[in-house]
């Protein structure tokens, strides 16, 4: 296995190397949950490494991605979840417009390796913010004044949930309901007072309210700036608008589909966001990242995660 560097701690194991080569070494049915964003081929290029899937054309990307999915299917326990953050991507010749249904092709790829397509959450993006960040002509008001046929939208991100075929031996339980909310919508006062409610959970309005938000197909209050530090990991040739996955999304996935003590995998770890959330929530993390500068930033972020988890355990953070 060609790994440049690795850090193995009690709470996590992370590797600077090729995700397929590392996954080949993991035992069958050893992972409880996978959370990740695959490279958005044709949209961003993350490195010049020939093994980086983002450097492939669309067809070639899926040829490589299928090898990865076969391993994710193998290492995932029966009945458990893998969840993928993705979006539609511009068609070739983006100047003439049009999109590729990247999420749809990801869904079909998972079906081929033994996963059931379970749910899709839409993650809302604010149009003006996206316009200012990308300078997309299709989002400019001037465009609808001149010719709204050329207008566009601030397309949603998606969180796709898949379940491996078979029955999970261990259920994911919330015997005390949800204990915290990841998002910016204020909770109603009559629900806040039920925080930490230990009685009959059918009366737990705090947890009920959180579940109503999480069960929605439209996640419209994910905080776009709630991300890990990443600027120190950027190199001069990096895309200027690459942004880590928001922690709110990962927090929800980890809370919904894993138990404390279980193993959370991120095959495209980046700066460590998924593993950071796993560790903070008393899970074990396995992360793999090809790009060295991202891996080094993940090392720094995960040291912080361990410290924060320890403080939470001592009741110092609320």
**pLDDT at 306 exceeding the cut of 70:** yes
**Percent residues over pLDDT 90 in the chain:** 69
The pLDDT tens digits of the residues spanning 67-108 come to: 999 999 999 999 999 999 999 988 865 455 688 999 999 999
Say if CB 14 and CB 286 are below 8 A apart: yes
- Please write the tens of the pLDDT for every residue from 183-226: 999 999 999 999 989 889 989 999 999 999 999 999 999 999 99
Question: Does 318 have pLDDT greater than 50?
Answer: no
Cβ proximity of 28 and 5 under 8 Å: no
| pLDDT tens digits, 118-162 | 999 999 998 988 888 878 888 999 999 999 998 889 889 999 999
Sorted by where each starts, the structural domains of the chain and their CATH numbers stand as 3-178+219-313 (3.40.50.150)
Cα-atom radius of gyration of the chain, to the nearest Å?
A: 20
Answering whether pTM is above 0.85, one says yes
Instruction: Give which of 2, 83, 89 is closest to 43, Cα–Cα.
Output: 89
């Amino acid at each position: 296995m060609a790994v440049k560097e690795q850090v193995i701690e009690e709470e996590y194991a992370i590797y600077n190397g090729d995700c397929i080569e590392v996954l080949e070494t993991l035992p069958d049915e050893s992972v409880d949950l996978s959370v990740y964003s695959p490279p958005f081929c044709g949209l961003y290029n993350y490195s010049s490494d020939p093994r980086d899937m983002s450097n492939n054309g669309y067809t070639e990307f899926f040829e490589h991605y299928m090898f990865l999915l076969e391993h994710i299917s193998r290492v995932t326990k029966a009945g458990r979840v893998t969840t993928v953050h993705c979006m539609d991507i511009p068609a070739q010749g983006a100047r003439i417009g049009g999109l590729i249904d990247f999420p749809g092709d990801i869904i079909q790829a998972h079906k081929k390796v033994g996963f059931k397509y379970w749910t899709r959450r839409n993650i809302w993006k604010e149009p003006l913010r996206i316009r200012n960040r990308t300078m997309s002509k299709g989002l400019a008001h001037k465009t609808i004044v001149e010719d709204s046929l050329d207008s566009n939208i601030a397309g949603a991100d998606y969180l796709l949930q898949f379940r491996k075929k078979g029955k999970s031996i261990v259920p994911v339980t919330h015997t005390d309901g949800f204990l915290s909310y990841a998002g910016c919508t204020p909770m109603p006062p009559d629900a806040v007072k039920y925080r930490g409610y230990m009685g009959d959970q059918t009366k737990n309005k705090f947890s009920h309210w959180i579940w109503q938000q999480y069960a929605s197909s439209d996640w419209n209050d994910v905080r776009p700036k709630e991300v890990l530090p990443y600027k120190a990991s950027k190199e001069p040739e990096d895309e200027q608008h690459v942004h880590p996955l928001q922690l709110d999304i990962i927090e929800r996935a980890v809370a919904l589909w894993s138990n404390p003590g279980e193993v959370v995998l991120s095959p495209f770890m980046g700066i460590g966001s998924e593993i950071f959330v796993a560790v903070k929530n008393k899970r074990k993390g396995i992360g793999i990242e090809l790009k060295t500068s991202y891996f080094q930033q993940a090392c720094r972020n995960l040291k912080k995660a361990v410290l924060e988890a320890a403080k939470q355990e001592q009741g110092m953070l609320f």
